[in-house]
Amino acid sequence: MTITCSRLLEKHSQAWHQATVHPFLTQCQLGTIQPKQFNTWLVQDYLFVIEFTRFVARILANAPTHHFDILLSGLNALSDELIWFKVKAEERQLNLSAEPQPTCSQYCEYLELVASMPYAVQVTALWALELAYNQGWQLPGTMPEPYAEFANRWGNQDFTEYVKLLEQLADEALSTADETIQVRAESAFLKIASLEKDFWSMAMANI
């Protein structure tokens, strides 16, 4: 049976829950997250997004042309996002030239690995990663300032619609993929879920 994005979420609901429901996000919603923990996440996420932008560009290189518009819209948003990160870092007097922590490096290295895989695996991983951000920042509910701005960046309706479009791209690619590629896509989904959980935990460990 051909896998779909919705089937992956249903089959691996526990792994996905751990990726998107985390004490880091809960404490942001409660306003109890320690500034040092949040700032750790912010700097490491900036470093991650740099590599993530390269990852999306590599996916575009392998994508069918009728997928270009959606993927290009994502790249354009990432351009704005990197500028936004710099503004937030300046407001908080943070050093964006910091070294990536091991968890961040491991995530970036995995994206580089996925970039060498078939397109169906790449676009499934892209969808999973963006959905994790979208749901992670939505599920806790309304957040207080200063975290409301961050929650709105990835939890807003426009981003939700973008993630739905990525799901359509992934489902289309998976529909014609052979069983071996589908298995690899499922493995990528699970790996992304695990790495997302670890990324939130990395920030929480900085106390």
Task: Identify the segments of the chain with pLDDT beneath 50.
Answer: none
pLDDT for res 203: 87
pLDDT at 46: 98
Predicted model pTM: 0.96
Which CATH superfamily, name and number, covers 22-204?
Heme oxygenase-like (1.20.910.10)
Q: Report pLDDT for 143.
A: 92
Dist CA 127 CA 114 (whole Å): 13
- At residue 205, the pLDDT reads 83
